Amino acid sequence: MNTNTRLVLLLFLAGCGGGAPHPGDGQPASDGEQTANSVEGTVHGQTLMIEDAISARVAVGFSDSDADIVLSTAPDACAGRSVGSLRANETSVEITLKEVTLHTSDAPSAPATFTWGDMEFQPTLWVRVGDAQCRHVMTAESLGDRGSVDLTAVAGDVFTGSFDVTLDTGERITGTFAPTACPALGSTVVMPCE
């Protein structure tokens, strides 16, 4: 093999893994810090092991949009996903961010802090729980009540940041998200339960 071929192969293999844990694999980083996709704290007394995170810019109505971020306990979270869908036995933390002006709301285009009660930078957070038939387990779900979401980067359909939110149960959860793009989040096609 010539030197250029070896260099290309080495760069390819370096991008394929090794080193730090895969973001969202539920394992702590080697130095004890949170992984790129994590949720700390409890929801109705249960801890969440995040397996994957996805995000997209989603059209709302005729001209509005928002940023949807999903941290999921299921692997390969984008597979079989559409607006509002849940997978079998999945728990997800779903964050929606929008910048509101007089007549429109848009997905954020730059880093910002979104705080409950803010009329311009509006967040929502919903912890959703699905059973084996993909039905909501409403008694196990929760909504964000106060706190903030810090959006640190925006690149197309990828929204990266962290959150510190007190739920309507009084429990506090914190976390980080560095999702992959999942345009299917904006699909209105009804997906079968998987």
Return the minimum-mean-pLDDT range out of 10-19, 38-47, 66-75, 160-169: 10-19
| Least trusted range by pLDDT, from 23-37, 82-96, 142-156 | 23-37
Residue 34 neighbours by CB under 8 Å, 6+ apart: 28, 40, 175, 176
Tell me what pLDDT residue 166 has.
97
Question: How far apart are the C-alpha atoms of 190 and 157, rounded to whole Å?
Answer: 21
Q: Is the pLDDT of residue 24 over 80?
A: no
String of DSSP letters for 7-62 = HHHHHHHHTT--SSPPTTSSSPPTTSPPPSSEEES-BTTB-----EEEEEEEEETT
* CA atoms of 34 and 24, how far apart (whole Å): 9
Is-contact 106 98, C-beta < 8 A? Answer: yes
Per-residue pLDDT tens over the stretch 64-99: 899 999 999 999 888 867 666 778 889 999 999 999
Pairwise CA distance, residues 164 & 192, whole Å: 33
Residue 29 in contact with residue 20, Cβ under 8 Å?
yes
Confirm if 80 and 194 have CB atoms less than 8 A apart.
Answer: yes
pLDDT digits (tens, 9 = 90+) for 173-186: 999 999 999 988 87
Q: How far is CA 158 from CA 34, 51, 76, 124, 179, in A?
A: 19, 17, 16, 17, 6
The H-or-E segment that residue 4 falls in is helix 3-14
Tell me what pLDDT residue 17 has: 33
Residue with tokens 């996709």: 37
